[in-house]
A and B are shown apart, each in its own frame.
Chain A
Amino acid sequence: GQNIDQPTEMTATEGAIVQINCTYQTSGFNGLFWYQQHAGEAPTFLSYNVLDGLEEKGRFSSFLSRSKGYSYLLLKELQMKDSASYLCAVRDSNYQLIWGAGTKLIIKP
């Protein structure tokens, strides 16, 4: 079966750095997405990786290793507004998105 694993919850301190991991086992691979979802709100797109390596976008970076079935989202200079759930999703060989359950990130002052 297809599976996306990510930690259920993480806690970090304002101003620090946090890395949220995602491992996947899917039938085929056509890209990996990270979304942010604040409580009670819609998921919003953060990043997309299809080739190995690091994609940087301001305070957020996303890394992909296709051979290891692994990605991480790196958040720097954490702010209180970064408290949210972070969803990892992989597009499989049928171009269907397979979603992880999300990682709830709690930022403490």
Chain B
Amino acid sequence: ETGVTQTPRHLVMGMTNKKSLKCEQHLGHNAMYWYKQSAKKPLELMFVYSLEERVENNSVPSRFSPECPNSSHLFLHLHTLQPEDSALYLCASSQGGGGEPYNEQFFGPGTRLTVL
């Protein structure tokens, strides 16, 4: 496996379900990100982990819970979601958490989430 991988690619869940999204990066990076992408809207940064510590939490509802067990893996635990949470959830990684002059983010293919 190379780059950034995400599983599952598609997920349909009811509002009472609990599910988890998984992201894995094979690039040796030390920062990982969760984004939400809704149609015709800018990417919304949800969480940032740098060196396995959460450094950013942009007022995301508590029904989204991130977990970063090591620098290569990132999870997003979902529970009691709402239909408006339906979107593409993208994971990204970079070398450095943003405080370096040049550190492009590498994205995974995303998980298309539908909440019924």
Identify the A interface with B (CB < 8 A): 4, 8, 30-31, 33, 40-45, 48, 50, 87, 89, 91, 94-102
Identify the B interface with A (CB < 8 A): 4, 40-43, 45, 56, 90, 97-99, 101-102, 104-110
| Chain B residue at minimum C-beta to C-beta distance from A104 | B40
Contacting A42 at CB < 8 Å: which of B56, B101, B102, B109? B109
| New contact pairs (6) apart from A44-B107, A101-B40, CB-CB < 8 Å | A8-B40, A33-B104, A42-B109, A95-B97, A97-B43, A99-B43
Tell whether, in the assembled complex, residue B98 and residue A91 are in contact, meaning their CB atoms are under 8 Å apart: yes
**B40 — which chain A residues lie within 8 A by C-beta?**
8, 101-102
- Give bound CA distance, A45 to B41, whole Å: 19
- Give bound CA distance, A46 to B101, whole Å: 16
4 nearest A-B pairs in the assembled complex, by CB-CB distance: A95-B98, A42-B107, A99-B43, A99-B42
- Give bound CA distance, A44 to B98, whole Å: 17
Known: A45-B106, A87-B43, A101-B42. A95 touches B99 (CB 8 A): yes
